[in-house]
Structure 1
């Protein structure tokens, strides 16, 4: 899909597609999410989307300027789904923790799309809401504006970094994930204490811990550090 700008008044298709479906931005985004999940980044083409929607590919330009614009919409949709049922409690640490875990978990439900969109800034409605919400939590906790922005930056980048890392792992074939987990048992757990004393002493913990995500612990460490800064 190349960049082609369609005038605003023409951005809505009112006639149904060949399959009797009326196109909408939401339908296109949901279809793109499904195709990315099934076929990876290569699925994000006009031809494939047109076939999946039963529509002339050119009709997609009524809603998106190009594939990059569509990718931003997909990334924003994942943020929106994470925020959909989240409710604040008034406890800033608990609110940030639950929000971070939701964003991370949301990425794992669509790992292929999450890997593509984790490093992007969408400037769209759901991302704007997330930025306002997180800054509001931090400012409401008593952090001065410059400190709130620094902590927002650290919180978001940590969350998205782990989301991309864990989503990339989740997107691997099951056989590859199982083979990697097996390395901790067949290689690290068998290293002798004479040459690798620390690995040998902790090997059973490595076997159980390393296949899991470190994000919950990293998030708690960040929030504890933030609380310490607030106390000072």
Structure 2
């Protein structure tokens, strides 16, 4: 049987831990993010959380049903951080581009958490607000509902896929990541035009792009494709707008 959850106000009234920390859902989430940064997903456990908070490990279950429930809360926290401070401009292309870049950056601020949570559905408040906001941008831009839903899904999944990919790279040990990037220089720049003509012709450009994510380029291409779709839809609509 799942342990009984406590409401937020009683949590705040609880006595501080041995380290003087007054526990709350948010405190546990932030501590979990720190543990993930330093220890990876293997370091996220009730025992480690309890030690970091100066509390009994069982305390976690007063706030979350378990580590998986905490993982969903972390996913929702990253989504919320993506939208913090964002203001719509009314230009759907620019608004979605800004949200994509902000979301990708929020995940990469916590690469281990990105790898752990990018494939999850939190079902929580920040995620629900994000889904409604993005669908609203697309519908108000003029996309019919079917297209808006498909584009929403593609937009979010593209960002999450890059967040997981780029997060996994950032989570590698520094020497391994540096070695992988050096291979672009030591291997691809040495290939002869006789056997690999296209690589030889573009090797400098390939190496130049090795140190940055391809996500901004992919996002721009996606949004340009969405804009072309909207233009085609507008051309085929009858005067009644059906």
Counterpart of 1:187?
187
- What SS does the corresponding residue of 1:112 show, helix, strand or coil? helix
> Residues 206 and 19 (structure 1 numbering): CA distance in 2 closer, same or farther, change over 3 Å?
same
Deviation of residue 19 (structure 1)?
2.1
Deviation of residue 185 (structure 1)?
1.1
Query: In terms of mean alpha carbon deviation, does 94-103 or 13-22 score higher?
Result: 13-22
Counterpart of 2:102?
102
Q: How many residues align?
A: 230
- What SS does the corresponding residue of 2:120 show, helix, strand or coil? coil
Q: Find the aligned partners of 1:31 and 1:161 in 2 and give their Cα distance.
A: 25
- What SS does the corresponding residue of 2:23 show, helix, strand or coil? coil
**Gaps in structure 2 of 5+ consecutive residues:** 233-242
Structure 1 runs of 4+ off > 3 angstroms? Answer: 7-13
Matched, 1:39 2:39: yes
Counterpart of 2:238?
none
Query: In terms of mean alpha carbon deviation, does 12-21 or 32-41 score higher?
Result: 12-21
TM-score in terms of structure 2 length: 0.91
Asked whether the 8 Å contact 1:76–1:126 carries over to 2, the reply is: yes
- What SS does the corresponding residue of 2:139 show, helix, strand or coil? helix
Counterpart of 1:208?
208
Deviation of residue 10 (structure 1)?
9.8
Asked whether the 8 Å contact 1:115–1:167 carries over to 2, the reply is: yes
Asked whether the 8 Å contact 2:118–2:164 carries over to 1, the reply is: yes
Q: Find the aligned partners of 1:29 and 1:51 in 2 and give their Cα distance.
A: 14
Deviation of residue 218 (structure 1)?
0.5
Matched, 1:22 2:22: yes
Counterpart of 2:113?
113
Asked whether the 8 Å contact 1:4–1:66 carries over to 2, the reply is: no
Matched, 1:64 2:64: yes
RMSD of the alignment, in Å?
Answer: 1.5
